[in-house]
């Protein structure tokens, strides 16, 4: 039987009512036999995230202080949900196990991963599925890299038959040491499992009915995105759209497995399909997919005659910034000047050291910090190489008296980026949205 991997985010498992919706969704399709879950999300603004509470528990335990009163908040939260689902007695030993592991000196990653671990145990019991620990499925080669071959083999061996609930957000090294993904990493877990078992579809269930073509807090009534390619999705995520964990795209894209973003609260809505361009059926040629952006950038300008003659200057500057933990986002080189765009917070944290280091590389150069800037862009099929698009964008920005400090078009044929004054961010998002319709 073909397998569908279904990942449910924190909002989808926040309480017993939401988990019952999950059960109905899973039961409606027998192909949904592998379920990946996040830790229960916040039910209201006053809730503390379970992950944050676990971080606090580990910090207290590491200082040999009382962590059990903080852990009691987690115990009460899970006990409340489990009791409503009728699986409270089954979960109690798992809660005890987690509490004692913290007392016994469990690593920070192991403690923080227990939100997903506990949730998966609870949901497995409610669904009548088996629990499969991600530590036995996802194998890390080092602190940042997944061992793909080992992960594929483990998943294929352990998940070939049966129905399983799998905690997201973590895996383990060969010695059993728990390793976390970055925040939101349950998406990655689901993607790795989907690739390993050759799933026909990877579903990502959340609290929105797919992706929108712009932030609805900025653009009134942005249209839905029905289909988007893997590459376009990564471009939108890079531009700043909170769409899907970008590291979760590569595993399924490499296996040409479609991703379907769906709404747990509106399961009848088809959501957004993320798939290869060749498999798309509802896209017009040259259609704009979405507009997104981010604030919080600064420009660093170096000026000196004949800068363009210095061998590998962009690479040297990027390496020096990296040494100071200032990631270089974009760079534009002219004959006598160079503009580097970097995150403002990283530059502020590095302080004057970063700027001094750059001047050392280019003796005699003048240096100026400019901004703050926002970066705004659009993604779509061949969007950046259609002559009318950028012309239309620049005309609209000019009409709105918006200065453009930097344009990036051509790195990717499917996206472009402009740097503008940060205080005009929302105006620019709306202008770019209108100009690319």
CATH class of 4-198: alpha beta
Question: Could you tell me where the beta strands, DSSP code E, fall in 44-93?
Answer: none
Query: What is the share, in percent, of the chain residues with pLDDT greater than 90?
Result: 49
Q: Which fold has domain 289-435?
A: VC0802-like (3.30.2130)
Angle at which helix 88-103 crosses helix 68-85, to 10 degrees, equals: 160
What's this model's pTM, rounded to 2 decimal places?
Answer: 0.83
Instruction: Determine the 3-state secondary structure of 263 from DSSP.
Output: strand
Range ranked top by mean pLDDT from 34-48, 150-164, 272-286: 150-164
Residues whose CB falls within 8 Å of the CB of residue 160, separated by 6 or more in sequence, listed in order: 197
DSSP state of 385: G
DSSP state of 429: H
pLDDT at 76 over 90: yes
Residue identified by tokens 């060749």 is: 278
Burial class (CB in 10 A: 0-12, 13-18, 19+), 304: middle
Reported as type and span, the H/E element at residue 238 is helix 230-239
State how far the Cα of 227 lies from the Cα of 215, in Å rounded to an integer: 17
Cα 320 off chain centre by: 27
Average pLDDT over residues 228-239: 80
pLDDT at 386 over 70: no
pLDDT at 102 over 90: yes
What are the C-alpha distances in Å from 316 to residues 6, 68, 354?
Answer: 45, 51, 13
Domain locations in the chain? 4-198, 289-435
Give the 3-state DSSP-derived string for 266-299, with helices as H, strands as E and coil as C. Answer: CCCCCCEEECCHHHCCCCCCCCEEEEEEEEEEEE
Structure tokens at 197: 């078992």
Structure tokens at 337: 């000047």
- Specify the pLDDT at position 282: 65
pLDDT-wise least confident of 96-110, 224-238, 291-305, 341-355: 224-238
State how far the Cα of 6 lies from the Cα of 21, in Å rounded to an integer: 13
pLDDT at 385 over 80: no
Query: What are the φ and ψ backbone dihedral angles of 208, each rounded to 5 degrees?
Result: -130, 150
Pairing between β-strand 366-380 and β-strand 288-303 as defined by DSSP bridges = antiparallel
């Amino acid at each position: 039987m073909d397998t569908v991997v279904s990942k449910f985010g924190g909002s989808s498992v926040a309480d017993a009512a939401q988990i019952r919706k999950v059960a109905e969704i899973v039961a409606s399709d027998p192909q949904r036999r592998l379920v990946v879950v996040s830790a229960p999300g916040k039910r209201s603004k006053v809730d503390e995230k379970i992950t944050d509470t676990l971080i606090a528990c580990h910090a207290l335990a590491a200082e040999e202080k009382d962590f059990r009163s903080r852990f009691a908040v987690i115990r009460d939260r899970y006990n409340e949900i489990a009791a409503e689902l009728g699986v409270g007695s089954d979960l109690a030993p798992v809660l005890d196990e987690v509490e004692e592991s913290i007392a016994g000196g469990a690593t920070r990653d192991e403690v923080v991963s227990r939100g997903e671990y506990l949730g998966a145990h609870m949901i497995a019991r409610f669904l009548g599925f088996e629990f499969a620990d991600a530590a036995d499925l996802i194998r890390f080669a080092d602190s940042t890299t997944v061992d793909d071959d080992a992960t594929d083999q483990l998943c294929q061996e352990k998940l070939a038959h049966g129905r399983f609930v799998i905690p997201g957000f973590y895996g383990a090294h060969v010695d059993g040491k728990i390793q976390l993904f970055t925040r939101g990493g349950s998406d990655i877990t689901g993607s790795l499992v989907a690739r390993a078992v050759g799933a026909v579809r990877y579903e990502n269930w959340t609290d929105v009915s797919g992706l929108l073509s712009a932030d609805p807090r900025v653009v009134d009534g942005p249209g839905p995105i029905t289909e988007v390619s893997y590459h376009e999705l990564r471009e939108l995520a890079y531009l700043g759209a909170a769409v899907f964990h970008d590291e979760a795209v590569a595993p399924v894209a490499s296996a040409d497995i479609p991703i379907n973003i769906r709404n747990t609260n509106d399961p009848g809505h088809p959501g957004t399909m993320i798939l290869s361009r060749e498999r798309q059926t509802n896209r017009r040629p040259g259609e704009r997919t979405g507009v997104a952006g981010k604030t919080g950038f600064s420009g660093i300008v170096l000026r000196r005659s004949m800068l363009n003659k210095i061998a590998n200057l962009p690479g040297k500057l990027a390496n020096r910034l990296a040494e100071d933990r200032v990631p270089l986002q974009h760079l534009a080189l002219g004959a006598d000047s160079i503009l580097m765009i970097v995150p403002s917070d990283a530059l502020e944290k590095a302080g004057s050291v970063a700027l001094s280091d750059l001047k050392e590389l280019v003796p005699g150069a003048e240096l100026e910090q400019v901004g703050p800037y926002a970066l705004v862009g659009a993604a779509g099929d061949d969007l950046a190489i259609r002559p009318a698009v950028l012309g239309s964008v620049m005309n609209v920005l000019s009409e709105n008296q918006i200065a453009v400090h930097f344009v990036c078009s051509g790195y990717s044929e499917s996206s472009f980026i402009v740097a503008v004054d940060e205080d005009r961010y929302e105006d620019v998002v709306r202008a770019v949205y209108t100009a690319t319709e």
